[in-house]
Chains A and B, each alone.
Chain A
Amino acid sequence: MKRTFSIGGIHPNDSKLSREAHIEIFPVLDVAYISMAQHLGAPAEPVVQKGDKVRVGQVIGKPTGFISAFVHSSVSGTVKAVEPKGDLAGNPVMHVVIDVEGDEWCEEIDRSKDIVREIPFSSEEILEKIKNAGVVGLGGAAFPTHVKLNPPKDKKAEYLIINGTECEPYITSDDRIMRERPDEIVIGAAIMMKALKADKCYIGIEENKPEAIASMKEAASPYPGIKVAVLKKKYPQGGEKQLIDALIGRKVPSLALPIEVGAVVQNVGTSLAVYEAVQKNKPLIDNVITVTGSCVPHQRNFLVRVGTPFSKMLDAIGGLPKDAAKFISGGPMMGKAVANMDASTLKATSAFLLLTEAETKRKEETNCIRCGKCIDACPMGLEPYLLNKLSRIGGMHDELEKEKIQDCIECGCCLYSCPAHIPLLDIIRVSKAEVMNIMRNRSAKQ
Chain B
Amino acid sequence: MSTTIIFTVVSLVALGLLFSVVLYIVAQKFKVEEDPRIDIIESLLPGANCGGCGLAGCRAFAEEVVNAPSLGSLSCPVGGDAVMENVAAALGQEAVKIEPRVAVIKCHGTVDNRARINHFDGYASCKVMASLYSGDTGCRYGCLGKGDCVEACKFDAIRIDERRGIVEVDEEKCVACGACVRACPKSIIELRPKGPKNRRVYVSCSSKDKGAIARKACSVSCIGCGRCAKVCAFDAITIENNLAYIDPSKCKLCRKCVDECPTKAIWAVNFPIKVPLTPKQEKPVIKTDNREEKR
Contacts and interface: CB of A to CB of B under 8 A. Distances in A.
Direct interface between A and B, CB < 8 A: yes
B134 A86 contact: yes
Given A89-B133, A339-B133, A339-B134, A362 B122 contact: yes
B132 A89 contact: yes
Interface in A41-92: 86, 89-91
A91 B132 CA distance: 10
Contacts of A426: 122-123, 125, 128
A326 B128 CA distance: 18
A90 B135 contact: yes
A361 B119 CA distance: 11
Interface in A316-363: 326, 336-337, 339-340, 360-362
Interface in A344-399: 360-362
B123 A423 contact: yes
A430 B127 contact: yes
Nearest to B136: A339
Interface string A418-446: 00000100110110010000000000000
Nearest to B124: A423
B122 A423 contact: yes
Contacts of B118: 339
B128 A430 contact: yes
A90 B127 contact: no
Question: Which of A336, A360, A429 is most buried by chain B, counting CB atoms within 10 A of its CB?
Answer: A429
A362 B131 CA distance: 18
Nearest to A360: B121
B133 A91 contact: yes
A361 B127 contact: no
Contacts of A89: 132-134
B134 A91 contact: yes
B127 to A, nearest CB: 5
B133 A90 contact: yes
A423 to B, nearest CB: 4
A362 B123 CA distance: 9
Contacts of B135: 90
Contact of A361 (B117, B121, B132): B121
A303 B232 CA distance: 58
Interface string B195-238: 00000000000000000000000000000000000000000000
Interface string A98-112: 000000000000000
Contact of B131 (A86, A90, A360, A429): A429
Interface in B91-138: 117-118, 121-123, 125, 127-128, 131-136
Interface string B16-30: 000000000000000
Contacts of B128: 423, 426-427, 429-430
A423 B121 CA distance: 10
A427 B125 CA distance: 9
Nearest to B56: A395
A392 to B, nearest CB: 10
A363 to B, nearest CB: 10
Interface residues on A, range: 10 to 19
B140 interface: yes
Contacts of A91: 133-134, 140
Nearest to B121: A362
Residues of B contacting A: mostly: loop
Nearest to B138: A90
B109 to A, nearest CB: 15
A360 B122 CA distance: 11
Nearest to A429: B131
A339 B127 CA distance: 17
A325 B128 CA distance: 20
Given A90-B140, A91-B140, A433 B121 contact: no
A33 to B, nearest CB: 17
Contacts of B133: 89-91, 337, 339
A430 B140 contact: no
Nearest to B140: A90
Nearest to B118: A339
Nearest to B117: A339
B44 to A, nearest CB: 26
Contacts of A361: 121
Nearest to A89: B133
B147 to A, nearest CB: 14
B122 A430 contact: no
Contacts of A86: 134
A340 B134 CA distance: 9
A61 to B, nearest CB: 23
Interface string A249-277: 00000000000000000000000000000
Interface in A81-135: 86, 89-91
Contacts of A339: 117-118, 133-134, 136
Contacts of B127: 430
Question: Which of B121, B131, B133, B140 is most buried by chain A, counting CB atoms within 10 A of its CB?
Answer: B133
Contacts of A326: 121
B134 A90 contact: yes
Nearest to A339: B133
Contacts of B140: 90-91
A294 to B, nearest CB: 18
A427 B118 CA distance: 21
Nearest to B209: A92
Nearest to B122: A426
Contacts of A360: 121
Contacts of B134: 86, 89-91, 339-340
A53 to B, nearest CB: 29
A362 B120 CA distance: 10
A338 to B, nearest CB: 9
A433 B131 CA distance: 9
B271 to A, nearest CB: 37
A167 to B, nearest CB: 23
Given A90-B140, A339-B118, A427 B131 contact: no
A336 B131 CA distance: 12
Interface in A395-421: none
A337 B132 CA distance: 9
Contacts of A429: 128, 131
A430 B121 contact: no
A89 B131 CA distance: 10
Given A91-B140, A426-B128, 4 more contacts: A90-B134, A339-B118, A339-B133, A423-B123
22 contacts: A89-B133, A89-B134, A90-B133, A90-B134, A90-B135, A90-B140, A91-B133, A91-B134, A336-B132, A339-B134, A360-B121, A362-B121, A423-B122, A423-B128, A426-B122, A426-B123, A426-B125, A427-B125, A429-B128, A430-B127, A430-B128, A433-B131
The 4 closest A-B pairs by CB, nearest first: A90-B134, A89-B133, A423-B123, A426-B123
